[in-house]
């Protein structure tokens, strides 16, 4: 079996194959070389859309596309045949994304963006000090006692929720069906507007699907208190950026933090760069998939043996 692995990550080839397999490293920003278009497995990580489209059109013997990204949207959009199994990297990013989400939440709540600007100006920010220590604004600057809503309550949320709870937050999940997950209450998407009325921090970990496009819209933003914080570590496609900009400019949202945007890299002329009370990081939350080789190995073995694949989303 020929297995193509990307040049964007160092996978342990000894784990990926047995003596009969041929593991080949390929460039993710160039067409698949003609001599390797007979591969049966394609591992994907940070591939360009052009590369994926080329692979979908030029690899007739392909059986499995394993993306190491938690969200398989770019692979699903490439046009692979229905006979090709597509598996995601769900769970590989739980720890780093949860960590970055927590960092963004704390940075937003404690307004580290404001303090950083003061540092650049060599200014001891006395107004911030007064606001932060004012008993009337105490809840704005702490997670202790805050109502945190996590929209998209999958495995990343399962890692993040206990970290938030350890700091005193009251965590509620939102998913397609209600119940309890990872020991936390989860409400259905239909109940989200009601939950938002008392939400202090809204964290989105939604995947990019046709159903989630622009999920954070004007109506959702207006359901939040003006003192609320919004953090997105899911996908940029899930946010109506015009609605978010309006909420920030009109003071209907205290602060937002985005690790993802609709267009990436974010163009230098994007209005988001100059938006008030907005923290932006360049899609770095999940840059280190953990356990990639083990997941790829498990799915290659399952493919050979005709067993169920892990994280299969198509094919």
Q: Give per-residue pLDDT as tens, 89-109.
A: 999 999 999 999 999 999 999
Residues 58 and 121 in one domain: no
Given a cut of 70, is residue 31 above it in pLDDT?
A: yes
Residues 207 and 107 in one domain: yes
Burial letters for 104-122: b for 16+ Cβ neighbours within 10 Å, e otherwise? bbebbbbbebebeeeeeee
Using CA atoms, how far residue 106 sits from 113, 139, 165, 243, in Å, is 11, 13, 13, 23
Could you tell me the pLDDT band of residue 287, with boundaries at 50, 70 and 90?
A: confident
Burial letters for 177-193: b for 16+ Cβ neighbours within 10 Å, e otherwise? eeeebbebebbebeebe
Catalytic residues: 235, 264, 283
Could you tell me the pLDDT band of residue 141, with boundaries at 50, 70 and 90?
A: very high
CB 101 within 8 A of CB 290: no
Given a cut of 70, is residue 116 above it in pLDDT?
A: yes
List the CATH number of the domain containing 301: 3.40.50.720
Q: pTM of the predicted model, to two decimals?
A: 0.90
Q: Residue 137: its pLDDT value, please?
A: 94
Task: Find, among 169, 170, 165, 187, the residue nearest to 178 by Cα.
Answer: 187
CB 288 within 8 A of CB 300: no
Could you tell me the pLDDT band of residue 129, with boundaries at 50, 70 and 90?
A: very high
Total number of domains in the chain: 2
Residues 119 and 171 in one domain: yes
With H, G, I as helix, E, B as strand and everything else as coil, classify residue 28: coil
The position carrying tokens 């015009």 is 242
Given a cut of 80, is residue 14 above it in pLDDT?
A: no
CB 163 within 8 A of CB 103: no
Using CA atoms, how far residue 257 sits from 109, 202, 232, 288, in Å, is 10, 10, 6, 20
Handedness of CA 180, 183, 153, 165 (dihedral sign): positive
d(C-alpha 94, C-alpha 286), whole Å? 8
Residues 67 and 81 in one domain: yes
Q: Look over the chain and give the mean of its residue pLDDT values, rounded to a whole number.
A: 96
d(C-alpha 100, C-alpha 233), whole Å? 8
Q: Which stretch of DSSP H or E encloses residue 5?
A: strand 2-6
With H, G, I as helix, E, B as strand and everything else as coil, classify residue 297: helix
With H, G, I as helix, E, B as strand and everything else as coil, classify residue 78: coil
Residues 14 and 116 in one domain: no
Residues 151 and 268 in one domain: yes
Residues 164 and 238 in one domain: yes
The domain in which residue 300 lies consists of: 2-92+289-314
Could you tell me the pLDDT band of residue 11, with boundaries at 50, 70 and 90?
A: confident
Residues 157 and 268 in one domain: yes
Residues 214 and 86 in one domain: no
Given a cut of 90, is residue 184 above it in pLDDT?
A: yes
Residues 87 and 183 in one domain: no
Given a cut of 90, is residue 12 above it in pLDDT?
A: no
Given a cut of 80, is residue 7 above it in pLDDT?
A: yes
Using CA atoms, how far residue 281 sits from 170, 205, 292, 295, in Å, is 26, 15, 24, 28
d(C-alpha 218, C-alpha 133), whole Å? 32
R_g of the chain computed on alpha carbons: 22
Residues 35 and 139 in one domain: no
Residues 163 and 246 in one domain: yes
Could you tell me the pLDDT band of residue 20, with boundaries at 50, 70 and 90?
A: confident
Q: Which of 8-12, 149-153, 271-275, 308-312 has the lowest mean pLDDT?
A: 8-12
d(C-alpha 134, C-alpha 111), whole Å? 15
């Amino acid at each position: 079996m020929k297995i193509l692995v990307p040049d964007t990550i160092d996978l342990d080839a000894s784990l990926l194959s047995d003596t009969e397999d041929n593991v080949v490293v390929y460039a993710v920003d160039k067409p698949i070389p003609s001599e390797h278009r007979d591969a049966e497995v394609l591992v994907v990580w940070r591939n360009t859309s052009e590369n994926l489209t080329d692979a979908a059109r030029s690899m007739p013997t392909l059986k499995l596309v394993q993306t190491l990204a938690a969200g398989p949207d770019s692979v699903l959009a490439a046009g692979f045949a229905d006979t090709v199994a597509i598996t995601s990297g769900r769970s590989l990013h739980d720890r780093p994304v949860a960590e970055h989400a927590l960092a963004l939440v704390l940075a937003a709540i404690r307004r580290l963006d404001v303090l950083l600007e003061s540092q650049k100006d060599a200014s001891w920010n006395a107004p911030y000090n007064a606001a932060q220590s004012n008993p009337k604004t105490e809840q704005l600057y702490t997670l202790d006692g805050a109502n945190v809503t996590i929209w998209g309550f999958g495995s990343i949320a399962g890692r993040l929720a206990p970290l938030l709870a350890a700091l005193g937050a009251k965590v509620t999940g939102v998913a397609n069906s209600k119940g309890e997950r990872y020991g936390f209450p989860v409400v259905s998407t239909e109940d989200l507007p009601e939950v938002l009325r008392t939400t202090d921090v809204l964290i989105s970990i939604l995947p990019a699907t046709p159903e989630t496009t622009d999920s954070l819209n004007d109506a959702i933003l207006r359901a939040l208190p003006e003192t609320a914080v919004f953090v997105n570590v899911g996908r940029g496609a899930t946010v109506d950026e015009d609605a978010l900009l309006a909420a920030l400019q009109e003071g209907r949202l205290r602060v937002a933090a985005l690790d993802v945007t609709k267009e990436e890299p974010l163009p230098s002329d994007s209005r988001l760069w100059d938006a008030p009370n907005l923290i932006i990081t360049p899609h770095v939350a999940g840059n280190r998939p953990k356990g990639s080789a083990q997941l790829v190995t498990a799915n290659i073995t399952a493919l050979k043996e005709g067993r169920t694949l892990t994280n299969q989303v198509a094919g």
